[in-house]
Copies of this chain bind each other. A is one copy, B any other.
Amino acid sequence: MRATLMYRAGDVRVENVPDSRIENPTDALVRITASCICGSDLHPYHSMTADEGPARMGHELIGVVEEVGTEVATLKRGDLVVSPFAISDNACEYCRENLQTSCSHHEAGFWDGLQNEGGQAEAVRVPLADGTLVKLPVAPDSALIPSLLTLADVLGTGYHAAKAAGVLPGQDVTVIGDGAVGLMAVLSAKRLGAERIVLMGRHTDRTDLGREFGATDVVAERGEEGIARVRELTGGQGTYAVLEAVGHMPAYEQAVGVVRPGGVISRVGVPQYEEAPIGFASLFRHNIRLAGGPAPVRAYIEELLPDILDGTIEPGKVFDTTTDLDGVPAGYRDMDERKSLKVLIKP
């Protein structure tokens, strides 16, 4: 079968690999019908060394169950399913607390950590299939597929940013980053009733979509200038919640700059730093809280699915390009060059 491998920064190839197949009785084999490239895939695309590659890529997927292991109880051949970016048994202590990204099962983890599987491919072996996969009540060629595919990561990740920040009706929110996750954070803050949603981003096509999703203000300036602009918009205070959907240090610094005393910075962009300012001058003085992490998107699927099925939300609008597997390397390049917002793959 064919699959996407990253050999090192900037070097993405689609190659023949051994067919995925059932290995454990709790596995499912899924024929992938829709997948995509994630903003977080751009991090290794910038930084991966040759020693770290080649790595199988892709952690967002919809597909048709082709075969199930002997212990899989809830799925059968022919089911259309979506897989979150994290594998979990959905049964352990952490999963029951809706923290599936910290599932304690020994097979749990991230797709990105698996050696021989990935979503940007023709098929995939899904470990802990009963826990990981969620059945979708539509056909594989449904017009809703792009929106449903966002349940695998970006929608749930943006929603997690807003939930972890504790966004409540009437609150003011700043979203940092106009990538797909940032736009989903806007949509999520809106869904939770935020009144003013300031989107910090400088790509007009994206921020326009952000306005469609609920942003009330767009700030294109960055750094000190951007901070001053948000403060100006909010009576000098900053906003109670700041959803940081980038992961780079300047985005964190911007978050510290625009958060209101007593407020919260909720991070869902994978941090590309380890150390950062959290002392008296940055967080402590005004009781600023820090929240977030890898989103337990599995926890949010049941809640968000009905809104997609009935058309209340259309998160699939973040896909502005569709390609087949052959087009994946160009898809990375286009996303990196901001020519594409998010690339849908039909393998």
A241 to chain B, nearest CB (A): 14
User: Contact partner of A267 among B101, B270, B274, B284, CB < 8 A?
Assistant: B284
A43 to chain B, nearest CB (A): 11
Is A281 at the interface (CB under 8 A from chain B)?
yes
For residue A288, which residues in chain B have a CB less than 8 angstroms away from its CB? 293
Contact with B along A258-283 (1 / 0, CB 8 A): 00011000010011011111111111
CA distance A280 to B247 in the complex (A): 10
Is A70 at the interface (CB under 8 A from chain B)?
no
Is A292 at the interface (CB under 8 A from chain B)?
yes
CA distance A81 to B101 in the complex (A): 50
For residue A292, which residues in chain B have a CB less than 8 angstroms away from its CB? 284, 287
A287 to B, closest residue via Cβ = B293
Contact A283 B293 (CB under 8 A): yes
Q: A270-B280, A276-B278 are in contact. Are A262 and B294 (CB under 8 A)?
A: no
For residue A101, which residues in chain B have a CB less than 8 angstroms away from its CB? 286-287
Is A88 at the interface (CB under 8 A from chain B)?
no
User: Contact partner of A276 among B164, B267, B275, B285, CB < 8 A?
Assistant: B275
Contact B290 A271 (CB under 8 A): no
Contact A273 B262 (CB under 8 A): no
User: Contact partner of A291 among B270, B274, B289, CB < 8 A?
Assistant: B289
For residue A267, which residues in chain B have a CB less than 8 angstroms away from its CB? 284
Contact B279 A277 (CB under 8 A): no
CA distance A276 to B275 in the complex (A): 5
CA distance A282 to B293 in the complex (A): 11
For residue A277, which residues in chain B have a CB less than 8 angstroms away from its CB? 274-275
CA distance A293 to B270 in the complex (A): 25
CA distance A97 to B261 in the complex (A): 11
Q: A271-B280, A278-B276 are in contact. Are A261 and B99 (CB under 8 A)?
A: yes
Is A300 at the interface (CB under 8 A from chain B)?
no
CA distance A289 to B101 in the complex (A): 15
Contact A99 B287 (CB under 8 A): yes
Is A102 at the interface (CB under 8 A from chain B)?
yes
CA distance A200 to B274 in the complex (A): 26
CA distance A66 to B164 in the complex (A): 49
CA distance A276 to B280 in the complex (A): 12
A46 to chain B, nearest CB (A): 16
Contact A278 B290 (CB under 8 A): yes
CA distance A77 to B281 in the complex (A): 39
CA distance A54 to B296 in the complex (A): 53
For residue A278, which residues in chain B have a CB less than 8 angstroms away from its CB? 271, 274-276, 278, 290
Name the residue among A102, A267, A279 with the largest chain B CB count within 10 angstroms: A279
Q: A99-B261, A99-B262, A275-B275 are in contact. Are A286 and B280 (CB under 8 A)?
A: no
For residue A281, which residues in chain B have a CB less than 8 angstroms away from its CB? 274
Contact B289 A290 (CB under 8 A): yes
A262 to chain B, nearest CB (A): 4
A-B contact pairs, 6 of them (CB 8 A): A278-B278, A278-B290, A283-B290, A287-B293, A289-B289, A289-B291
User: Which 10 interchain pairs have the tightest Cβ spacing?
Assistant: A287-B293, A274-B279, A102-B261, A290-B290, A271-B279, A99-B262, A275-B275, A289-B291, A284-B293, A102-B286
